[in-house]
A and B are shown apart, each in its own frame.
Chain A
Amino acid sequence: GAVVSQHPSRVICKSGTSVKIECRSLDFQATTMFWYRQFPKQSLMLMATSNEGSKATYEQGVEKDKFLINHASLTLSTLTVTSAHPEDSSFYICSARYPGPYEQYFGPGTRLTVT
């Protein structure tokens, strides 16, 4: 149980275009989902917390107009990278809060490359 999927697993886009990444909890409902970014050989950096039916809460330094997050249902959250630039190239990972005290389950990640 507790499976989280992400789509696509990797995407290459041109600079200036927008890219949407989907995160789904497959076998549980998640009122809260999270979006992380990981740079090579570094830890996971929390970008934003997404609560179903409300606006996302962004961490300090993360541009909310650039990284649009929508959590329209209890099983789906999307991250849209708008007007992508090469510096946005990274590994993006979502997670979903499992019902219960504090466990989070992660998706497999999306490798974004902006050319």
Chain B
Amino acid sequence: DQQVKQNSPSLSVQEGRISILNCDYTNSMFDYFLWYKKYPAEGPTFLISISSIKDKNEDGRFTVFLNKSAKHLSLHIVPSQPGDSAVYFCAAGRDRGSNYKLTFGKGTLLTVNP
């Protein structure tokens, strides 16, 4: 049962344009959502997060939008840069004390072309 889904395995955009990465989830009990960026043979790097009580969070070029009714979130990168090319993972979690853990999607490979 895949609770966090990233239906697009890959996305290609031109430098300077907007990249929109999508993520859907099925568990309405998730309290928070995070986006990570990962290069090959490296650990994921935390990008941005959002609590389930908010619908938008912005940090520099990165903005995450949350639509709870649709169980959907998206990461917007504006403007996109070639260095943004990586695999992006969406993650969701519930904070229940010792039962805290994240569930990851399968990732989307973003390629930003110069």
CB within 8 Å of B: which residues of A?
Answer: 2, 4, 6, 32, 34, 42-44, 46, 49, 51, 57, 91, 93-95, 97, 101-109, 111
Q: Using a CB-CB cutoff of 8 Å, which residues 96-111 of chain B contact chain A? A: 98, 100-107
Q: Quick one: given A97-B100, A101-B32, A102-B95, are A109 and B42 in contact (CB under 8 Å)? A: yes
CB within 8 Å of A: which residues of B?
Answer: 31-32, 34, 36, 41-46, 49, 51, 89, 93, 95, 98, 100-107
Q: How far is the CA of A34 from the CA of B93 in the complex (A)?
A: 14
A-B contact pairs, 14 of them (CB 8 A): A2-B46, A32-B100, A34-B101, A43-B106, A43-B107, A46-B102, A91-B41, A95-B43, A95-B44, A97-B100, A101-B32, A101-B95, A102-B49, A104-B46
A43 touches B42 (CB 8 A): no
A33 CB to closest chain B CB (Å) equals 11
Q: Which of B34, B89, B98, B101 contacts A43 (CB under 8 A)?
A: B89
Main secondary structure of the interface of B (DSSP, over half): strand
B37 CB to closest chain A CB (Å) equals 11
Q: How far is the CA of A111 from the CA of B40 in the complex (A)?
A: 11
Using CB atoms, name the residue of chain B closest to A111.
B41
Q: How far is the CA of A42 from the CA of B40 in the complex (A)?
A: 12
- Residues in B whose Cβ lies below 8 Å from that of A97: 100
Q: How far is the CA of A6 from the CA of B44 in the complex (A)?
A: 13
Q: How far is the CA of A109 from the CA of B45 in the complex (A)?
A: 12
Known: A104-B46, A104-B102. 12 other contacts (CB 8 A): A4-B43, A34-B102, A43-B104, A43-B105, A43-B107, A94-B43, A95-B44, A101-B95, A102-B31, A104-B34, A108-B42, A109-B41
